[in-house]
DNA sequence: ATGAATGCAAAACTTTTGCAGGACG
DNA sequence: CGTCCTGCAAAAGTTTTGCATTCAT
């Protein structure tokens, strides 16, 4: 955990930004809730425990900054709020989402299933893939069990 | 074109809704701009040519209604506005997006590349897929040509 | 001292809602 | 009438911005 903070600190510094206490608190919240796809408001509320004086604007600015540096990924699931995820490496994002339309659960698949497709894109469309996003909507296994009982 | 309007009219009526002049104007705008991913505001401005008295709220309500009926698909590309696409059939949506991070162009792949993956999801995760979404970010072939010249 | 970063409040923007009036069977 | 639908205006919600102040060098 400390190592990951240190790495992010260096990413900031190499672009001329500082890891201020507010930014560190924000990053720690993201680290402690890596599974969660937090919205800016979510992050704000959690950060307030660590740094009660922080303002919502600072959280937005921090998330925006981290997003520009590709430390976090900004996502939209169609519910009107942006959600933010720490990236595991600073380069590519290799997981997919299973969104249950019945209970709203959001599961993840950590494998990258798209390598073949990206090759096809490169060859057939001459499109150089930098990142991708793959979401499935459907019924999760829990709801299927529930529905059948 | 008229045939497609007629079909949408029937879809509305079968659920107890009417194809009012405002709704028809909205659908026509969507039909005439099928390649674009229009935002509600875009639709509103285009619809005003056909029906100047229409209100923005009506456009939102119409798009929401058509979305519920799966006549249009509501999408988010991360720029803070929802965008709406007519579906070709009323069941599944089988195209993917190539988003160029350099020029912002949005190309589409009309094939469905995910059938295999959906089988795997069904077998390995017991997730019943109803719909999916696949976007790639990268550099489009036009920008690659431009960059190399 | 200088530039970067913050907090607060206000503003901007997208989307939703309340409500009075209209259309239409 | 009754119900669905509309336009307008107001409200709600998220995100951005302006600005004075504070914080680090």
Does pLDDT of A137 surpass 90? no
B12-39 pLDDT, tens per residue?
Answer: 998 999 999 999 999 999 999 988 899 9
Question: Residue B133 in 3-state DSSP?
Answer: strand
Whole-number Å distance between alpha carbons of B149 and A106: 45
Q: Is A106 on the interface with B (CB under 8 A)?
A: no
Percent of residues, chain B, with pLDDT higher than 90: 48
H helices present in B51-100, as ranges: 56-68
A85-112 pLDDT, tens per residue?
Answer: 998 764 466 678 898 877 777 888 877 8
In chain A, the residue whose alpha carbon lies closest to the alpha carbon of B122 is A141
DSSP single-letter state for residue A90: S
Find out whether B71 and B64 touch, Cβ atoms under 8 Å.
no
Question: Residue A134 in 3-state DSSP?
Answer: strand
User: Nucleotide D23: nearest residue by CA–C1'?
Assistant: A20
Cβ neighbours of A136 in B, within 8 Å: 118, 121, 127, 129, 131-133
Q: Is A89 on the interface with B (CB under 8 A)?
A: no
B34-79 pLDDT, tens per residue?
Answer: 888 999 999 999 999 999 999 999 999 999 999 999 899 898 888 8
Region B82-97 average pLDDT: 76
DSSP single-letter state for residue A99: E
Smallest CA-to-CA distance from B4 within B72, B50, B65, B58 is with B72
Task: Say if the Cβ atoms of A134 and B130 lie within 8 Å.
Answer: no
């Amino acid at each position: 955990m400390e190592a990951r903070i240190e790495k992010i600190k260096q990413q900031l510094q190499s672009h001329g930004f500082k890891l201020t206490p507010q930014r560190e608190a924000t990053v720690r919240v993201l680290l402690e809730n890596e599974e969660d796809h937090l919205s800016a408001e979510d992050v704000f509320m959690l950060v307030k425990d660590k740094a009660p004086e922080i303002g919502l604007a600072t959280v937005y600015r921090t998330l925006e900054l981290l997003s520009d540096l590709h430390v976090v990924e900004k996502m939209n699931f169609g519910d009107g709020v942006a959600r933010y995820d720490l990236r595991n490496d600073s380069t590519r994002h290799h997981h997919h989402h299973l969104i249950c339309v019945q209970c709203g659960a959001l599961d993840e698949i950590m494998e990258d299933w798209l390598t073949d497709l990206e090759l096809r894109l490169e060859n057939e469309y001459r499109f150089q893939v930098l990142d991708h996003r793959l979401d499935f909507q459907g019924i999760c296994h829990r709801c299927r069990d529930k529905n059948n009982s």
